[in-house]
Structure 1
Amino acid sequence: MSALDMDMYVDGSWRQASSGGRIDVINPARTSETVGSIPDGGPADIDLAVAAAKRAQSDWSHRPLAERAALIADAGTRLTAIDPSGPEALTREMGKILAESVMDFQSPPWAWSHYLNDPDGLDRALNDRRCDDTGRLEIRRRPVGVVGAIVPWNWPIALLGVKLGPALLAGNTVVAVPSPYASLGVLKAIEAIGSALPTGVVNVVTGTGERVGAALSAHRDVDMIAFTGGLEAGRAVAQALGSRLRRGVFELGGNDPAVLLDDVKVDDDLIRKLAAAFTMTSGQVCFAVKRLYVHHTVLDEVTAKLGDALQAAVVGDGLDPGVTMGPLANERQFKRFTSLLAEAEASGAQVTTFGRARDKTTWDGGYFHLPTLVTGVGARERIVTEEQFGPALPIIGFRTDAEAISLVNATPFGLTSSIWTSDPSRAWAMADQIDAGATFINKHGIAAFDPGAPFGGMKESGYGREMGMEGLLEFTSTQQITDRQIPM
């Protein structure tokens, strides 16, 4: 396939970096292949993008809410109908199978539907009007101004979408910084929707996080940052915002547990859902199952059946229709993931791979790894305590519900979790004791999400919420206007 060289999108125009520099994009399934290139932006490019967003913000925020919603709905329609080159570019640059890349492009309209399908609820959320014999009170949710959106490489269009939709609906303008490992997909998305929105309302600056991400976070005219990514980078962004007393919404990943109780029905449906919940995008999903706690009475059965199901996995180039799981996204992630597995095996754990390579002759030319189960592993091994972000699942037995809760909460993270049982009332009672922003019952993964429900983490998984009306209000500042005369 031909190389795809794209430019950044600033003030309604496509432009190169001020420095003229570019970054090559490498195919993780075929590391000898250069997919294309993106501009190597820097602080000067952030300055231009922020200035454009600031100029556009007043007009955009003063447009009627219904008009903003109509333009965003049009953008969603364009994303849904995007030509195959968008998903193909995303798969080529970060590896996941094409079906997941297609889903990535379709995710923003799905997330926006909660707002767009309820215009009255949207208006009520942004404008609370109260009038009685004491006078009139209005509580208005005003846009914060210019929002910086920093998105990672695993689901870049979806994660930009959950920021972009509510930010724009609330009247803000946006400067987005995608990961250099997944900028082509984001730029293809903006190529599809850019003309649906007024000039300057949405801007995209590409480059490394150390340059463009840091410059965006520190910029005096950026009023808020919505960040999804790793803990270390998130801390740096939060520190930059804190020094300027500006706001942020942070989703910093998780170490997400699934708990199988003693009464769980171990059938094909359960095993299929568990396998998908930890292998989707080669395990590189913030809410993927990353630790599996199984009651000792069903531990052997679950482990055996899960291994049998994983034998059907076919790992290879994500553009190959016969492949069910692509490579890891980049060399850094591949090395970290494989080192965690090697460390677990050296400590005495059993590390067992399943499935097969689609093409053994090209296997060593990509960041491929077969789906893996890790058994006989200690609860304090790093493969258990850290977010491995790869297709490996440590499995640990437990004997009591109290022990399971203790194991689940023994982590600095708290994004999502799941409980699997034949007794829903037992799961609801148990969920109240788990430190997680979301607990799913008898499900886990992308199919468990509701666009009307807020999503975010506890502890080091971040703060603030995306999606739902709570996610919309994160992009606003509250103002009261009143002439009420309240007697003392």
Structure 2
Amino acid sequence: MSFEKIPDEFKITPYYSNSYLIDGELKEWKGATTEVFSVIKSPDSQGNTSPTFLGTVPDMGEASALEAVHAANKAYNRGKGVWPTMSVVDRLKCMEVFVAKMALYREEVVKLLMWEICKNKSDSYKEFDRTIEYIKNTIEAYKNIDRKGAKFDHQEGVLAHIRRGPIGVVLCLGPYNYPLNETFCLLVPAIIMGNTAVFKPAKLGVLLIAPLLKAFQESFPPGVVNIVFGRGRSIAAPIMKTGIIDVLALIGHSSSAVSLQDLHPNKNRLRLVLGLEAKNPGIILPDADLEHAVKECISGTLSFNGQRCTALKVLYVHESIVTNFNALFAKAVDNLVFGMPWGDTFLTPLPESSNQ
């Protein structure tokens, strides 16, 4: 597909991100940067095609990582900081301000999702809208938790007043396949409870965080959310070695989780919130409605090209129906539409050229 055929609303100009957020300050990065490309190719003036240049992000290292974690630690101050001691009402107001500001960047974030990780248009809009809804639902859920915590529990003659509180400093590392939704499913509950956080975006799906930096800065007190960019070994590793991190929140591979845990000097007190790889099975029994089963299995195995931790990895089909199931499944796969993310497509290019 030529660049001219891309709908005007989805054409992209390079986004040069040279900012990062530490201790409530949007700082200008003057060091090395990482170029971000899409595997979707576009032509140059001579008609030659090459991966589309999307922009740049800071390539930060150990010094910035340590600055970020110390800022988060200072803001938490062993639970005595402004954020952990702030009233629930005021913390929720901050989150409501953030979600309102975030909603203003819907089109920009969706466009970056489509170009950088090649998620189709429908799923990209869905990811953004689900994230907004998730934040609002989390706000309501925390209101219920707070109301419940205001009451005394009475069991076997014992009165108890039980309330939930923050744990400390959280290192948040999200995945590339849902760089907005799943990342915010880690980050939002952490900060809404009164924790402070250091957040490093994934290698892919990194540019879409850049437009939201100002929203984070304007919505939360200094040091509550600190956002840095760079390779995991350059950012996450030195942060873990400090021993400051109280909670590791990671969605990724188990080997990454093990490696990061091993770097912490006090593993016994490190809390873990992990979403790791899985071999999710789909089981088709002999009395199943085959057409419905095939539809569900197509969605389960191939949504976003199967690049989901919740994707069905293996299908177990009863031998009495396996021939009919395979025929229907193969026909359904043949009918899937492959194309560019901005079209009405189901299958799209893979975001890493090594996986093509």
Shorter-normalised TM range: 0.7 to 0.9
Q: How does 1:275-354 map to 2 (within 5 A)?
A: 275-318=298-341, 320-332=342-354, 334=355
Q: Is 2:287 the counterpart of 1:263? A: yes
The whole-number CA distance in structure 1 between the counterparts of 2:93 and 2:280 is 37
Q: Give deviations 1:70-123, integer Å, cap 9, x for gaps.
A: 322332333344241111112211111122222222233333344322455311
Match of 2:21 in 1: 9
8 Å Cα contact 1:229/1:251 also seen in 2:
yes
Partner of 1:393: none
**Structure 1 segment 33-432 matched on structure 2, within 5 A:** 33-57=52-76, 58-123=81-146, 129-130=152-153, 137-241=160-264, 243-245=266-268, 246-267=270-291, 269-318=292-341, 320-332=342-354, 334=355, 367=356
Aligned CA distance change for structure 1 residues 122 and 330 (closer, same or farther; 3 Å): same
Unpaired stretches in structure 1, ≥5 consecutive residues: 335-366, 368-488
- For residues 342-390 of structure 1, give each alpha carbon's deviation from its aligned partner in whole angstroms, at most 9, with x where no partner exists: xxxxxxxxxxxxxxxxxxxxxxxxx3xxxxxxxxxxxxxxxxxxxxxxx
Contact preservation (8 Å) 2:149, 2:161: no
How big is the shift at 1:194? 3.8
Q: Which amino acid aligns with 1:61?
A: P
Any idea what the Cα deviations from partners look like across 1:271-318, whole Å, max 9, x if unmatched?
A: 222212211111111101111111111111121112222223232332
Shift of 1:131: 6.7
Displacement after TM superposition at 1:244 (Å): 4.3
Distance in 2 between residues matched to 1:94 and 1:76, nearest whole Å? 23
| Aligned residue type for 1:10 | I
Percent identical pairs in the alignment equals 23
Aligned residue identity for 1:271: V
Q: Secondary structure at the match of 1:155?
A: coil
Q: How far apart are the structure 2 equivalents of 1:52 and 1:66?
A: 24
Q: TM-score scaled to structure 2, two decimals?
A: 0.84
| C-alpha displacement of 1:127 | 6.2
Amino acid paired to 2:316 = Y
Which has the higher mean CA deviation after the structures are superposed, 153-162 or 117-126?
A: 117-126
Distance 1:132 1:324 in 2: 54
Q: Does the aligned pair in 2 maintain the 1:79–1:106 contact within 8 Å?
A: no
* 1:35 counterpart SS class: strand
Deviation (angstroms), 1:147: 0.7
Counterpart contact for 2:243–2:266, Cα < 8 Å: no
Equivalent pair of 1:8/1:17 in contact (CA under 8 Å): yes
What is the count of residue pairs matched by the alignment?
331
Are residues 29 and 105 of structure 1, via their aligned partners in 2, closer, same or farther at CA, if it must alter by over 3 Å?
A: same
Q: What CA distance in whole angstroms lies between the structure 2 residues aligned with 1:331 and 1:252?
A: 23
- 1:152: Cα distance to partner? 1.5
What is the CA distance between 1:237 and its match in structure 2?
Answer: 1.3
TM-score by length of 1: 0.63
- Greater helix proportion: 2
Partner SS state of residue 264, structure 2: helix
Match of 1:24 in 2: 35
Whole-Å Cα distance in 1 between the matches of residues 247 and 304 of structure 2?
29
Superposition CA RMSD, Å:
2.5
